[in-house]
Amino acid sequence: MKRLIVAFVMIIIIIGLTVTSANIIDKYCDTILTLINKSEIAFKDGESTDVYLDDIEDIWENAEPLLYIFTNHESIEEIGVSISMVRAGDEEDFLKESAQLKEKVSHLSISEKLSLRSFF
């Protein structure tokens, strides 16, 4: 009977960690995607994108250590490089680099969503 209780507790812990990781990843990805969209709109309107890019960098610096626990390290590193590329790029490459960043963040969000496919 003790083994069943331990097994049940372990299953509850694993489910809890899985749900928590999915929620954390989804929250950060949604926030970053929103800021990328706002920066693209500001860029198209001829306004400064520095405020949005600063916010993206701040959020990413806070999220990165936590995301390393839950996700693939390679994906996290690619997103970090893309953020740097958007920040360092010139006006000609801004939309291209931001589109690539959106794609990488969207892919991370989709790949880490809870589904039957993600369990197998």
Instruction: Give residue 24's identity as a one-letter amino acid code.
Output: I
Does the model's pTM come out above 0.85?
Answer: no
For 31-56, the pLDDT digits (tens) are 999 999 999 999 988 888 889 999 99
* pLDDT score of 1 more than 90: no
Please return the burial class of 92, using the count of CB atoms within 10 Å of its CB with bins 0-12, 13-18 and 19+.
exposed
Contact at 8 Å (CB) between 115 and 100? no
First-to-last alpha carbon distance for the chain, in angstroms, is 29
Helix locations, the chain, DSSP H: 2-44, 50-70, 73-88, 94-111, 116-119
Structure token pair of residue 88: 């360092």
